[in-house]
Amino acid sequence: MRIAVDVMGGERGPLEVVKGSVEAAREYKVEIALVGREDIIQQQLAKCRPENSKLSIVNAVDVVNPHEPPAQAIRHKPDSSIVVGMNLLKGGDVSAFVSAGHSGAMVAAALFILGRIKGIERPALGAIFPTPSDPVLVLDIGANADCRPSFLIQFAEIGSIYMEKVLGVHQPRVGLLSCGEEEIKGNRLVRESHQLFKKSKLNFVGNVEGKDIHRGVADVIVTDGFTGNIVLKTSEGFSEAFFDMLEQALASRPHFRVVSLLLDPALRAFARRLDYSEYGGAPLLGVNGNVVIAHGRSQAKAIKNAVGLAKRAVEQGMPQAITGGSYGQTG
Amino acid sequence: MRIAVDVMGGERGPLEVVKGSVEAAREYKVEIALVGREDIIQQQLAKCRPENSKLSIVNAVDVVNPHEPPAQAIRHKPDSSIVVGMNLLKGGDVSAFVSAGHSGAMVAAALFILGRIKGIERPALGAIFPTPSDPVLVLDIGANADCRPSFLIQFAEIGSIYMEKVLGVHQPRVGLLSCGEEEIKGNRLVRESHQLFKKSKLNFVGNVEGKDIHRGVADVIVTDGFTGNIVLKTSEGFSEAFFDMLEQALASRPHFRVVSLLLDPALRAFARRLDYSEYGGAPLLGVNGNVVIAHGRSQAKAIKNAVGLAKRAVEQGMPQAITGGSYGQTG
Q: Map residue B112 onto helix, strand or coil.
A: helix
A251 is a domain residue: no
Q: Is the minimum CB–CB distance between A72 and chain B shorter than 8 Å?
A: no
For residue B187, count other CB atoms closer than 10 A to its CB.
Answer: 22
C-alpha atoms less than 13 angstroms from C-alpha of A8 in its C-beta half-sphere: 25
CB A309 within 8 A of CB A279: yes
What CATH number does residue B24 fall under?
Answer: 3.40.718.10
Residue A331 has pLDDT above 50, yes or no: no
Statement to judge: residues A130 and A187 lie in one domain: yes
Q: Do A190 and B239 touch (CB under 8 A)?
A: no
Residue A273 — pLDDT band, cuts 50, 70, 90?
A: low
Chain B residues with CB inside 8 Å of A234's CB? 210-211, 213-214, 231, 234-235, 238
A229 is a domain residue: yes
Nearest-neighbour CA in chain B from A60: distance (Å)? 27
Q: Map residue B154 onto helix, strand or coil.
A: helix
Own/partner pairs, B47-55, CB within 8 angstroms, 24+ separation: B47/B15, B47/B18, B48/B18, B48/B19, B48/B22, B49/B22, B50/B22, B52/B26, B53/B21, B53/B22, B53/B23, B53/B25, B53/B26, B54/B25, B54/B30, B55/B21, B55/B22, B55/B25, B55/B31
CB A34 within 8 A of CB A55: yes
Nearest-neighbour CA in chain B from A258: distance (Å)? 10
The radius of gyration of chain B's CA atoms, rounded to the nearest angstrom, is 20
What CA–CA distance (Å, rounded) separates B171 from B331?
Answer: 20
- What is the strand order of the sheet B173-177 is part of? B55-59, B31-36, B2-6, B96-99, B290-294, B281-285, B124-129, B136-139, B220-222, B173-177, B203-208
Q: Do B211 and A231 touch (CB under 8 A)?
A: no
Q: Is the minimum CB–CB distance between A261 and chain B shorter than 8 Å?
A: no
Q: Map residue B31 onto helix, strand or coil.
A: strand
Mean pLDDT of A121-127: 95
In this complex, the residue of A186, A237, A246 whose CB is nearest that of residue B214 is A237
Statement to judge: residues B131 and B274 lie in one domain: yes
Question: How much is the pLDDT for B331?
Answer: 38
Angstrom CA distances, B172 to A4, A51, B325, stand at: 47, 57, 16
Nearest-neighbour CA in chain A from B214: distance (Å)? 6
CB B109 within 8 A of CB B68: no
A248 is a domain residue: no
Structure confidence by residue, pLDDT tens digits, B317-327: 999 999 876 56
Statement to judge: residues A232 and A301 lie in one domain: no
Lowest mean pLDDT among A27-31, A250-254, B105-109, B309-313: A250-254
Mean pLDDT of A66-76: 91
Q: How many CB pairs below 8 Å do chains A and B form together?
A: 189
Statement to judge: residues B101 and B242 lie in one domain: no
Cis peptide before A319 (omega within 30 of 0): yes
Question: How much is the pLDDT for A216?
Answer: 85
Statement to judge: residues B23 and B92 lie in one domain: yes
CB A322 within 8 A of CB A117: yes
Statement to judge: residues B87 and B208 lie in one domain: no
Q: Is the minimum CB–CB distance between B49 and chain A shorter than 8 Å?
A: no
User: Between A37 and B279, where is the model more confident?
Assistant: A37
Q: Is the minimum CB–CB distance between A235 and chain B shorter than 8 Å?
A: yes
Looking at the structure of chain A, the number of domains it has is 2
What CA–CA distance (Å, rounded) separates B197 from B184?
Answer: 14
Residue B84 has pLDDT above 60, yes or no: yes
What percent of chain B clears pLDDT 70, i.e. is strictly above it? 86
Statement to judge: residues A166 and A108 lie in one domain: no
Own/partner pairs, A28-31, CB within 8 angstroms, 24+ separation: A28/A307, A28/A308, A28/A311, A30/A1, A30/A2, A30/A3, A30/A54, A30/A307, A30/A311, A31/A1, A31/A2, A31/A3, A31/A55, A31/A56
Question: How much is the pLDDT for A11?
Answer: 85
Q: B interface mutation test: which of A185, A189, A245, A258 has the most B CBs within 10 A?
A: A245
Statement to judge: residues A150 and A36 lie in one domain: no
A7 is a domain residue: yes
In this complex, the residue of B211, B238, B249 whose CB is nearest that of residue A269 is B249
Which domain does B151 fall in, by range?
Answer: 126-278
Residue A329 — pLDDT band, cuts 50, 70, 90?
A: very low
Q: Is the minimum CB–CB distance between A181 and chain B shorter than 8 Å?
A: no
A249 is a domain residue: no
User: Between B331 and A299, where is the model more confident?
Assistant: A299
Q: What is the pTM of this model?
A: 0.90
Question: How much is the pLDDT for B298?
Answer: 78
- What is the maximum alpha-carbon separation in chain B? 64
Statement to judge: residues A48 and A25 lie in one domain: yes
Q: Is the minimum CB–CB distance between B255 and chain A shorter than 8 Å?
A: yes
A275 is a domain residue: no
Q: Is the minimum CB–CB distance between A186 and chain B shorter than 8 Å?
A: yes
B323: burial class by Cβ within 10 Å (0-12, 13-18, 19+)?
middle
Lowest mean pLDDT among A20-24, A82-86, A145-149, B215-219: B215-219
Q: Is the minimum CB–CB distance between B263 and chain A shorter than 8 Å?
A: yes
Sequence-distant (≥ 6) Cβ neighbours of residue A51 within 8 angstroms: none
Residue type, B71: A
Statement to judge: residues B135 and B218 lie in one domain: yes
DSSP 8-state code for residue B178: -
Chain B residues with CB inside 8 Å of A132's CB? 241, 244-245, 248
Residue type, A238: F
Interface of B with A in 302-331 (CB under 8 A): none
Statement to judge: residues B110 and B158 lie in one domain: no
Q: Is the minimum CB–CB distance between B144 and chain A shorter than 8 Å?
A: no
Mean pLDDT of A170-191: 95
Domain boundary among A209, A243, A277: A243
Q: Do B235 and A239 touch (CB under 8 A)?
A: no
Domain boundary among B278, B297, B319: B278
Structure confidence by residue, pLDDT tens digits, A283-325: 999 999 999 999 877 789 999 999 999 999 999 999 999 987 6
Complex ipTM tops 0.85: yes
Residue type, B318: M
Chain A's closest residue to B253, CA to CA, is A266
A274 is a domain residue: no
Residue B297 has pLDDT above 80, yes or no: no
Q: Do A238 and B212 touch (CB under 8 A)?
A: no
Q: Do A227 and B227 touch (CB under 8 A)?
A: yes
Lowest mean pLDDT among A245-259, A286-300, B9-23, B161-175: A245-259
Q: Do B210 and A229 touch (CB under 8 A)?
A: yes
In this complex, the residue of A233, A236, A249 whose CB is nearest that of residue B270 is A249
Q: What does pLDDT average to over chain B?
A: 89
Statement to judge: residues B311 and B224 lie in one domain: no
Chain B residues with CB inside 8 Å of A216's CB? none
Q: Is the minimum CB–CB distance between B254 and chain A shorter than 8 Å?
A: no
Chain A's closest residue to B228, CA to CA, is A179
Q: B interface mutation test: which of A176, A191, A267, A270 has the most B CBs within 10 A?
A: A270
Structure confidence by residue, pLDDT tens digits, A129-148: 877 778 899 999 999 999 99
A280 is a domain residue: no
